[in-house]
Amino acid sequence: MTIPTLTAQDGTTIPAIGFGTYRLRGEEGADTVARAIDAGYRLIDSASSYENEGAVGAAVRRSGVAREDVLVTSKLPGRHHAHDDAVRTVEESVLRTGLDHLDLYLVHWPNPRVGRFVEAYEALVECRDRGLVRHVGVSNFLPEHLDAVIAATGVTPVVNQVELHPYFPQPLQRAADAERGVVTEAWSPIGRANDLLRDPVVAQVAAAHDVSPVQAILRWHVQLGVVPLPKASSPERQRENLDVFSFELTTHEMNALTGLARADGRTNDQDPAVYEEL
């Protein structure tokens, strides 16, 4: 399956949907990621803290797909925000994957109380200039965090990866990203398969197009211009989740899904303004 792409402000081409890998580790993880690449995914999410950069790298290396056709992402954990530590962490990530570079490297969380995310981002920009990573980005950054890193470096993050699904649709964050030319990626796009998949509104939209609730939700992301990163273990689910480009939701259906927003819609109460992940 050929996946449509988005073009970031620096000209980077980003697939309209990617593959999440949280909890996929070891040989079984590598096999699962390899199947996802076989199914057609060309944007693979990972993180130093998932302890699976080895599995992701192995899957990419074993796949028959040309290296330049797959975007491999990793992320810098909060405990390594200090400059030299950040650089060593990126070097370790690249070594673990067994690839000669990573494509996207993100500051995983701003950890604003620690207050070193600008230093961390500066280190990633240096790693980019050394060729260790092709593009730098961020994750869980609020608008003020975006402004701080852009002001310090003049380098706009290619992506901001945030929690985003119909129970937490983030209109203000999406607008803030767009104003700055940052592509929004969605983590936990199907709410970690929670109640959202059984929501009657989702069921109704899905039934109208003869697709599954998960497909209706992922199509909603695509039409918002957000890149969802669903994680799925079986080849059937991996293919199902990719198959969202042959139908279109109406404006009414889009609004109905966005209208499911809940004040406490986060899956795990992780507010980047106060949440700390080290």
Ligand X SMILES: NC(=O)c1ccc[n+]([C@@H]2O[C@H](COP(=O)([O-])OP(=O)(O)OC[C@H]3O[C@@H](n4cnc5c(N)ncnc54)[C@H](OP(=O)(O)O)[C@@H]3O)[C@@H](O)[C@H]2O)c1
Known catalytic membership, residue 50: yes
Q: How far apart are CA 276 and CA 278, in angstroms?
A: 6
Output the smallest distance, CB 6 to ligand X, in A: 17
Smallest distance, Å, CB 270 to ligand X? Answer: 7
Whole-angstrom distance, CA of residue 19 vs CA of residue 140: 18
Q: Footprint of ligand X on this chain (CB under 6 A)?
A: 20-22, 45, 108, 139-140, 161, 187-193, 214, 229-234, 237, 240-241
Q: Is the CB of 183 or the CB of 232 nearer to ligand X?
A: 232
Calculate the CA 198 to chain-centre distance.
24
Minimum Å distance from CB 166 to ligand X?
Answer: 11
Q: State the catalytic residue, choosing from 50, 105, 121, 167.
A: 50
Token pair in block for residue 173 = 């964050």
- Please give the full DSSP string across 151-167, using - where no structure is assigned: HHHS---SEEEEE-BTT
The nearest distance, CB 20 to ligand X, in angstroms, is 2
Q: Indicate the SS3 state at residue 120.
A: helix
Nearest to 103, CA basis, from 50, 43, 54, 32: 43
Minimal CB distance residue for ligand X = 20
Q: Which is nearer to ligand X, 107 or 155 (CB)?
A: 107
Helix (H, G, I), strand (E, B) or coil at 73: strand
Nearer to ligand X, 169 or 230 (CB): 230
Instruction: Give the length of the chain.
Output: 278
Give catalytic residue positions: 50
